[in-house]
Structure 1
Amino acid sequence: MKEEKQHIVIKGCGILSPLGYDAASVAAAYAAGKPAFTTQTHQGQATPVAALPPAAEQQLEQLIESNSVYKQLDRSVLMAVYAAQQAAAQAGWLHKNASDDDDLAVNIGSSRGATGLFEQHYEAFQQEQLSSSASPTTTLGNLSSWVAHAVNAGGGQISHSITCSTALMAVANGVAWLKAGMAKRFLAGGTEAPLTDFTIAQMKAVGIYSKLAEHPYPCQPYAQEKQNTFTLGEGAAVFALEQNITAPGDVIIEAVGFGFEKLTSKTGISSEGLNFQKSMRQALTQLPAQDQQVDLIITHTPGTRAGDRAELAAIQAVFGDTSPAITTNKWLIGHTLGASGALSIQYALHILEQQQFTSIPYPHLLPHQDSSQINRIMINAAGFGGNAASIVLQKR
């Protein structure tokens, strides 16, 4: 009798985003199709951002109250802990038997890390009032170590950054660890809390930040109008992964691909999107030779003229006239940097469950958005430095 093949299965998902604090609240927000942007004053200018809604903020406050130590942690770490606990609970992993948890590994990534705390501590440093907690609470390792504490994980604990591809790289790392037998269970995802003065100023300095503070859609990926509409958002998403024989309805990580190109600009992307071309092609080669159809691509598309057009050019180069349907969630939640790929994966899970995605309402460059049956979704991410990653999910 032929032994059934095992796959990397997503057993649980935790989410905290501008759209909500769990799968149900986020699904309702996607169905409503209402962008999550608000306006704050930054350096005297009205600036659009996508912050957590009050209900999600309340969930975060309850988490902080559950452990007195949490009060000293950065917002990015707290969001990761919240999402990880949610994912682990959904997977049935939260229990008190610590001896059984050495097989649970963690990889949480972030582009910027403890941005808020770093800025606070630097301000205190300038006033010669630096706290002894400054270094311990701003290290990148904070992300996974505190998540591991929260879910009783005794396996490998990895924190990393590869700019905006970070979350997809974390999930890819989880796939590799599980396939190598270095872990039996793996929590992977990304978190970002970049709505701080210095981080927003950095994005404005690049010259890409949206000036559409009063527009209902301040972030407009693939917009026909030629302007940059990059808008920052915050959030976290974490996934509980296992290698198992699948059951009907399971969602598996079917392929992971990476791409890099030589730096030719500050942001590191060519007009042809060579990094995207490489990552998508590498992912497609891992699919069955007789079945490499992708039904939908959730693109990176942060709302920049160069980046959006480069990714569309890459999709055309890879798929030609048989391009899948294309969509993105950034017009609703902005760009969450290192967490963006994780929030796109969560969006993919939502689409696979609901068999529909929210149509982009403003004039755009996408060739089409329709897809009658969605069983396989490709998620793209790219970051400063010329890197890109692509992950393919399939519903069994």
Structure 2
Amino acid sequence: MTERRVVITGIEVLAPGGAGTKDFWSLLTDGRTATRTITFFDPAPFRSQVAAEIDFDPEQHGLTPQEVRRMDRAAQFAVVAARGAVADSGLVFDNVHEHRTGVAIGSAVGATMSLDQEYRVVSDGGRLHEVDHTYAVPHLYDYLVPSSFAAEVAWAVGAQGPATVISTGCTSGIDSVGYAVELIREGSADVMVAGATDAPISPITMACFDAIKATSPRREQPETASRPFDATRNGFVLGEGTAVFVLEEMESARRRGAHVYAEIAGYATRSNAFHMTGLRPDGKEMAEAIRTALGEARLNPDDIDYINAHGSGTKQNDRHETAAFKDSLGEHAYRIPVSSIKSMVGHSLGAIGAIEIAACALAIEHNVVPPTANLHHPDPECDLDYVPLTAREHRTDAVLTVGSGFGGFQSAMVLTGPGRRP
């Protein structure tokens, strides 16, 4: 049986610093940061007061007033990005069997912003112990169930095949795309609209991360707060956003003359079964995911040209994945450019894995490695080539991207340029 290979033919990104793929790539290659003092609410009571927000007007992006009323901000992101990815792909959905077109959307925290807001309304700002449901919006149930995100995207693009939400914390973006790839490979779908979305910048989220001191308390010069692999880092910076892709079976995409950004050549996920927020310092489980993804891609460690790191900006994560790269890639790990785009767009939880896949596909497209912003004082324990401050022109035929999530989730994906794999 001929192997069904999967390629990316459409991309749309909504990320801090610009709502659109072009603005996103410009921000990354310029090495600019989009973190700022939180404007969505008064951050004064919180330990961490900075985030990477998107300046997003849903009606300017084509959503109707009814859609805006019905959907949480994260769902709005996903629908806008799905429509943009389909337009970018040039795929005419009338020519695709609707039951062979599916949706896979990742999200770590679902409709957090709307749930937070509606609780304040029905509890009268927390004053009422017994809330008054009559003040709630009629679509409150949709905010409760993250599956509504997949339903909204399916309606927006007319997909009647498999529709799923993947929620595996901060690896949700990689895992949703990986799941979509497997559906196409096994023949359950021909086209998948896949990606991830999260809009978590709300009081409840800030309070949760404050409690475990995971986010940066740095308030002066908020644009410098996210500092992956830097000796002065002190936590990640929360972000928001989405990236959605059109994935197709390779031969079908070639027959219709589609532009192919990259092939998704390998994917694997593992769990460390260790601790809810802690990581094993040796990075063994991430290393195993990397080796498995490389094996599926039929590539050797020496074939990897660039690594998009999880690079959250916490000491345990940066050291953990540095160890994993050395374990899985051997001496070649010291020769591969590595960078973290979270230094520029923050950590959008479940969405970031998909946003980073978009960065990888664009790195392949343009042969440019995005930099790690704010990396002025490298941690001696993180001794790889982390591409500080300035983007680097570099041939990127094969790219590795990884994700690490609370709960022990560790995922890896390998992307290659069109025609890179025989």
TM-score normalised by structure 1 residue count:
0.91
| Structure 2 residue corresponding to 1:306, chosen from 267, 291, 316 | 316
CA distance in 1, matches of 2:105, 2:298: 30
> In the alignment, does 2:236 pair up with 1:219?
no
- For the aligned residue pairs, the C-alpha RMSD in angstroms reads 2.2
User: Per-residue deviation at 1:26?
Assistant: 1.5
Aligned ranges 1:27-176 → 2 under 5 Å = 27-40=25-38, 41-45=42-46, 47-53=49-55, 57-58=56-57, 60-63=58-61, 65-66=63-64, 68-93=66-91, 95=93, 97=94, 100-127=97-124, 128-130=131-133, 131=136, 132-176=138-182
> In the alignment, does 2:234 pair up with 1:232?
no
8 Å Cα contact 1:72/1:137 also seen in 2: no
Per the alignment, residue 389 of structure 1 pairs with 411
Could you tell me the percent identity over the aligned residues?
A: 25
SS at match of 1:178: helix
Per the alignment, residue 375 of structure 1 pairs with 397
CA distance in 2, matches of 1:255, 1:320: 19
Residues 290 and 165 from structure 1, CA distance in 2 versus in 1: closer, same or farther, beyond 3 angstroms? closer
Residues 288 and 65 from structure 1, CA distance in 2 versus in 1: closer, same or farther, beyond 3 angstroms? closer
> In the alignment, does 2:326 pair up with 1:328?
no
Aligned ranges 1:186-201 → 2 under 5 Å = 186-201=192-207
| Structure 1 residue corresponding to 2:349, chosen from 317, 337, 348 | 337
User: Per-residue deviation at 1:289?
Assistant: 5.7
1:52 maps to a residue whose letter is I
User: Per-residue deviation at 1:198?
Assistant: 0.6
CA distance in 2, matches of 1:279, 1:363: 30
| Structure 2 residue corresponding to 1:354, chosen from 337, 342, 366 | 366
User: Per-residue deviation at 1:65?
Assistant: 4.4
Residues 78 and 275 from structure 1, CA distance in 2 versus in 1: closer, same or farther, beyond 3 angstroms? same
Deviates more, 1:364-373 or 1:236-245: 364-373
2:16 maps to a residue whose letter is P
| Structure 1 residue corresponding to 2:190, chosen from 184, 191, 195 | 184
1:207 maps to a residue whose letter is K
User: Per-residue deviation at 1:390?
Assistant: 0.5
Deviates more, 1:230-239 or 1:345-354: 345-354
8 Å Cα contact 1:269/1:275 also seen in 2: no
Per the alignment, residue 283 of structure 1 pairs with 293
User: Per-residue deviation at 1:99?
Assistant: 8.3
8 Å Cα contact 1:262/1:268 also seen in 2: no
| Structure 1 stretches lacking a partner, 5+ long | none
Per the alignment, residue 261 of structure 1 pairs with 272
> In the alignment, does 2:311 pair up with 1:296?
no
CA distance in 2, matches of 1:267, 1:94: 44
SS at match of 1:61: coil
SS at match of 1:42: coil
User: Per-residue deviation at 1:7?
Assistant: 1.9
1:129 maps to a residue whose letter is D
8 Å Cα contact 1:295/1:371 also seen in 2: no
Instruction: Give the total of aligned pairs.
Output: 387
Deviates more, 1:19-28 or 1:293-302: 19-28
TM-score normalised by structure 2 residue count:
0.86
CA distance in 2, matches of 1:235, 1:99: 28
| Structure 2 stretches lacking a partner, 5+ long | 125-130
1:392 maps to a residue whose letter is V
